[in-house]
Structure 1
Amino acid sequence: MSYDSKSLLTTRSELSIFLLQETYNHWVVILSLIIAVFASYSALNLASKISGSQGSTQKWWLIAGSCVMGCGVWAMHFVGMLAFHLNVHIHYDLSVTLLSMLCSIVASFIAFQILLSKRIDWRKFGVSGFIMGSGIVAMHYTGMAAMRLPATVAYDRGYWLLSAAIALAASYVALFLFIKFRDNVSVSWWKWASALLMGIAICGMHFTGMGAADFWCGDASALIATDNGEVNLVLLSGVTLATFFMLMVSWGAMFFDRHVLEKMAYSDPLTGLPNRHDLNRFLKDGVDGSRETAVIFIDLDRFKTSNDTLGHDIGDMLVQEVGRRLSGLTGEGRKVFRLGGDEFLIAAERCSQDQAEQLAGDILEAITKPFDLKGNELYITASVGISLAPKHGTDRESLLKASDTAMYNAKKAGKNRFCVFDDEMDQMLLRRLELEKDMRGALERKEFYIVYQPKWNALTEKAVGFESLMRWPHPKFGDVSPSEFIPIAEETGLIIPMTRWVFSEVGKLLQQWMEKGVPLLPVSINVSVRLFESRQLIEMTRTLLESANLSPHVIELEITESMMLYDVKDMIRQLSELRSLGVRISMDDFGSGYSSLGTLDQIPIDTIKIDQLFIRESDSPAKRAIVGAIIEMALNLQLDLVAEGVETVEQIDFLRSSGCNVMQGYYYGKPMDVSEMDNWIARNMDERLTEDSRL
């Protein structure tokens, strides 16, 4: 099928020159539009590769994208030329034809190169669009110049300018879409619609340019039949190769996405195991509720201690070896994942509770075997939590929450064991979730309050300070123990604003004492390791001292011995800076199981607080020996001592005889709110004044 763009064969009678008749094949015209759209889509698809890569990889993607865009525009042009027929024989100069292709590729490369920056510079955008548009115009008219035929070409200036304007407009549209889609790796109808718009614009430029050309022939003998269907094989071969190149680059990009990038995205680079993303995909639609499935959560015990002690290289080797041992326990229907850090998970299909418990026992046995890593013989344990589908749910969130809760219960029970999720844990989990939800607004609702417990010097019979303690009377659950809500606050990060509030309340209390003329006694504030990690503790302490106009010695910060399991050097640095402000530092719960003896002489602290566990069992000879050793060590290091949990006269006598005079416990006073504490202070101050007057 064909149509005439100039329906009449006209002559310039005075020159006897014939204006040749132009015809186009409809189907080939449509094919040229399809090639233009496909080239545009391929270039948009490669935009994300260009933007998302770096270094030499980015250059290769840039070259590929420029070649696809340039070759696509060139192929569309010459397919359009294949659809174009005159009454004369036409062939093409190969070197000029290749030059036209080069114009399009180079212009695309320069334009894409300019727009690689993440920030859009509209001046660069203007230059890039002009370069690319000029390249398309140069490609088109260079391709026209490659035509060899017994006729001369004359261009209508108006149509020529219109074709150039369309080329520039198409280029700006192409580059705008390139910027829009350079960070989008997904296939979307919007991208196809954009490619169609670009294809129509490029085809519009081509056929407008063809409409600008008049072909004048002065030799009537050169005329041939217009419907002979002659095809230029060289041109057809070039177009075929260019189209094939676009297909290869596009398919190569798809293969890279589906195989190379997918493997990188869904596997752990350290162990090669499937990662958390693959687990999410694995459990995306949940599990089949018609058969039992076990989700087994594995967390290495005290991995951070080993990692910090032996170095991260050994830590990485340990994780790799654990991954290999766990992989050895998998089989048909079992898959092991590394979730990150020291956390692993095994999903086992068609697995009953008995089989899951047997597998958990095998996991513990495999991990407790010694690891030989670069001459270091290392022993570690693990805590394992098990959830079962459909018993504990069939969706991903329920199963992961349940196995995670069971794992934490295994840790609380003493580590190196497994625990199966049950109804009691379910209630605990629901309670925990509700506490976490309610805690987020508890500060605004003023549900928290502070109580203060006195510290007493049994030798001078005088109060020497107070410890501030948070309390939470929950509207539904009643009084919630700090041992329950503080860990939740630490995990969620809410401990930071909560501690900031405690600092403010302590500052207000000390200001009230100053206004009443009450002698200021030091008040200690418990601080979490999260405060050190956030780097906000020093600023909070400085703000407290300045806003309340306090002397630094009336503020004491209490840390726990377990904090030394974290970055010791950074902890020492921050503690040293806090002490330089003049505040005192005490170590709470000393001797509770996290030995810091190796670094105790390096940690900048003023006071050791003996854990109440030893005081309550001080009638035991073993506990007496431990307490005596702690007291002797503190005295040798010139550290102050406070004994916690003192409740009986016998405990007081033992501590005094051992050299510890400052005590804290129910014997001397329970934690009191502000009004009760005011009465306690007044009563004890009166007793002290009476005793002093007698002296």
Structure 2
Amino acid sequence: MAFLEHSHNPWLVLASLCIALMAGFTGLSLTKGLSEQSFAQRKISISFASIALGGGIWAMHFVAMLGLQLPVLFYYDLLTTLVSALVAILMMGCALLLLHFRQRTPASIILAGGIVGAGILAMHFIGMSGLEPYRAVYTAPGIAITIVASVALSIGAFWVAYGHRTRRNIVLGTLCFGLAVFLVHFIAISGTGFAVAEDGVTSGALISNEVLAIGVVLASFVICAGFLMMSATFLPTDGTLEPRPAPAPDGAEDAPGKTAVVPATEVQPHIPYEHSGRTLFIDRSEVAAVRAEGRYTVLYTRKDKLFCIWPISEAESRLSGSQFVKAHRSYLINPAHVSGFERLKDNGVCHFDEIETLSKVPVSRSCLVAVRESLGL
């Protein structure tokens, strides 16, 4: 079979890469700090992130396809094009729900990356099937290489972005995600031939390149706007809030022109936990210990074990110095609930006789001095 010669507009190729990078940054930035949001807020953030990432995959693909140059004008089937966009958004949403509403483990990150890789593949091949009056012809090796590349690159991108939720990882994850979407498209195109359809019969309404370009421009504009807004809040600040007037103490008058600065890190008296699909709160004084559980933590109270969305590092930064002390790399303890302490050579054990869900917590050598001091020993 003779294939048509084809080439690409280099400027549109570059534009497609920029869109993929902006979409990756916008989506990954939207999902940062979700552990501090309520259940409903997390769902909204994940919805926007899914649209940004899935829409970015779709926009990148069609910007690159608009740069495809064939001997005769070509069009796209409208319904097929819309389905390809929805599939990308849906698959991305499934991956983000898995990462933010389930316990985040290496296995869940790999599974989420695999789902995204499958979404990129589905979007690409569904979108290509809407090409009129040409048809794309694939080879078995080309499809195999595309599948491996899509899944491997997507898993790598999510592993980097979700290995640690830091600014550095978001930037690196953005680069990995953008390159994954970009490379998968052109790896697939490199193994694809284009031939004129024999029957030339279309399955529905066609969308011209001009109309498609308008749609892609609008989608890209939304992604760019999200990119700019996320960029404005992404860089670290000096940790202070704008000063605002504070009420004067009883019997005192505000001095003219004076304002009180609200502390940026005010200690909150409660700890969030998840129960029956809701985010609830418990007074930190009721928590005897906090234990690392994968990328989340478990709170031990007198009668219950509660699932907390904070990782142990975040729990330590939020709770240390306010009733809690680090006893082990996996444990924070509340000395007020400790019923006994046992010294074991160069480490120790804290006992919790009144806590039904927890009997003892190991104390590592590096934390021994701090624990003993908190217990008055």
- Range class of TM-score, shorter chain: 0.5 to 0.7
2:44 corresponds in structure 1 to: 60
Cα offset for 1:107?
0.6
Whichever structure has more helix as a proportion of its residues is 1
Gaps of 5+ in 2: 199-207, 265-320, 322-333, 342-377
> Map of 1:590-629 to 2, 5 A cutoff?
none
For residue 184 of structure 2, what is the aligned residue in structure 1? Answer: 205
1:256/1:99 CA distance change after superposition, 3 Å = same
The 1:273/1:137 distance shift into structure 2, 3 A limit, reads same
Counterpart secondary structure, 1:335: coil
Aligned pair 1:94/2:78, yes or no? yes
Change (3 A) 1:339 1:136: closer
How far the C-alpha of 1:70 sits from its partner, in A, is 0.5
1:241 has 2:168 as partner: no
Contact 1:66 1:109 in 2 (8 A): yes
Which AA in structure 2 matches 1:167?
Answer: S
Matched-pair contact (CA < 8 Å) for 2:121–2:147: yes
In 1, Cα distance between equivalents of 2:111 and 2:14: 32
Deviations 1:39-82 (A, max 9, x none): 12222222214343221111110011111110111111011101
Residue 194 of structure 2, aligned match among 215, 225, 246: 215
1:230-266 deviations in whole A, cap 9, x for unaligned? x8111111211111121233344456779xx99x973
Contact 2:113 2:155 in 1 (8 A): yes
User: Which of 70, 81, 102 is 2:65 aligned to?
Assistant: 81
Supply the distance in 1 between the matched residues of 2:147 and 2:261 (Cα, whole angstroms): 58
Is 2:260 the counterpart of 1:336? yes
Say whether 1:164 aligns with 2:164: no
Q: Report if aligned partners of 2:160, 2:172 keep a CA contact under 8 Å in 1.
A: no
Picking from 16, 35, 48, the partner of 1:32 is 16
- SS of 1:154's partner is strand
For normalisation by structure 2, the TM-score amounts to 0.61
Answering whether residue 209 of structure 2 is matched by residue 232 of structure 1, we say: yes
Letter of the aligned partner of 2:60 in structure 1? Answer: M
Q: 1:322 aligns with which of 240, 246, 249?
A: 249
Structure-to-structure mapping, 1:678-693, within 5 angstroms: none
Matched residue, 1:195: 174
1:147-202 deviation line (CA, Å, top 9, x unaligned):
111x33321110111111111112212322331354x3x5x5x6434422322222
CA distance in structure 1 between the partners assigned to 2:21 and 2:233 by the alignment: 22
Q: How does 1:492-503 map to 2 (within 5 A)?
A: none
User: Partners of 1:126 and 1:68 in 2: how far apart?
Assistant: 21
CA distance in 1, matches of 2:72, 2:30: 41
Aligned length: 264
Aligned-pair distance for 1:37?
A: 1.4
Cα distance, 1:91 vs structure 2: 0.7
Evaluate the alpha carbon distance shift between residue 338 and residue 197 of structure 1 in structure 2; reply closer, same or farther with a 3 A threshold: closer
CA 1:203/1:534 → structure 2, altered by over 3 Å: closer, same or farther? closer
Per the alignment, residue 155 of structure 1 pairs with: 138
Native 8 Å contact 2:161 2:172 kept in 1: no
Q: Distance in 2 between matches of 1:133 and 1:117?
A: 20
d(CA) in 2 for partners of 1:236 and 1:537? 66
Largest Rg, 1 or 2: 1
Between the two proteins, what is the percent identity of the paired residues?
25
* Partner in structure 1 of residue 121 of structure 2: 137
Aligned position for 1:177: 160
Provide the TM-score with structure 1 as the length reference: 0.34
C-alpha RMSD over aligned residues: 3.5
| Contiguous gaps of at least 5 residues in structure 1 | 1-11, 13-17, 220-230, 275-319, 341-491, 493-532, 541-695
Q: Is residue 99 of structure 2 the alignment partner of residue 122 of structure 1?
A: no
Q: Residue 233 and residue 537 in structure 1: after superposition, are their counterparts in 2 closer, same or farther (change >3 A)?
A: closer
**Which deviations, in whole Å up to 9, do the C-alpha atoms of 1:444-472 show, x marking residues without a partner?**
xxxxxxxxxxxxxxxxxxxxxxxxxxxxx
1:156·1:213 contact (CA, 8 Å) conserved in 2?
yes
Counterpart residue number, 2:241: 266
Determine helix, strand or coil for the equivalent of 1:336.
coil
